[in-house]
């Protein structure tokens, strides 16, 4: 009886998932006019979206600082390993 309930729940969830996937609308294909308009945008917009160089995160951006520190530690470990393996 317990196995039947588990199978019924799994089958029900699978059915709901498949029905939801079928009712999803497919993404609209990109039109050539939209692609031309996107390529015609000025370059300063792209320059404004460039990320800050490594190590220059704001003091409030703790996630970026943690990533920068992880990259620095990784680079130091690789350099130490390479130096130790050179004869």
Q: For the chain, what are the domain ranges?
A: 54-87
Global confidence as pTM: 0.35
User: What's the whole-number average pLDDT of the chain?
Assistant: 78
**C-alpha to C-alpha distance for 24 and 16, rounded to whole angstroms:** 12
The DSSP element (H or E) to which 85 belongs, if any, is: helix 62-85
Question: How high is the pLDDT of residue 10?
Answer: 96
Question: How high is the pLDDT of residue 15?
Answer: 94
- Report the residue count for the chain: 87
- Tens-place pLDDT, residues 23-33: 876 666 655 55
């Amino acid at each position: 009886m317990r196995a039947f309930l588990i199978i019924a729940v799994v089958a029900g969830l699978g059915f709901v998932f498949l029905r939801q996937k079928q009712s999803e609308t497919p993404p609209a294909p990109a039109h050539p006019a939209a692609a031309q308009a996107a390529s015609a945008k000025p370059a300063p917009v792209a320059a404004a979206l460039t990320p800050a160089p490594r190590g220059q995160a704001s003091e409030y951006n703790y996630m970026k600082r943690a990533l920068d520190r992880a990259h620095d530690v990784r680079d130091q470990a690789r350099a130490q390993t390479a130096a130790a393996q050179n004869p």
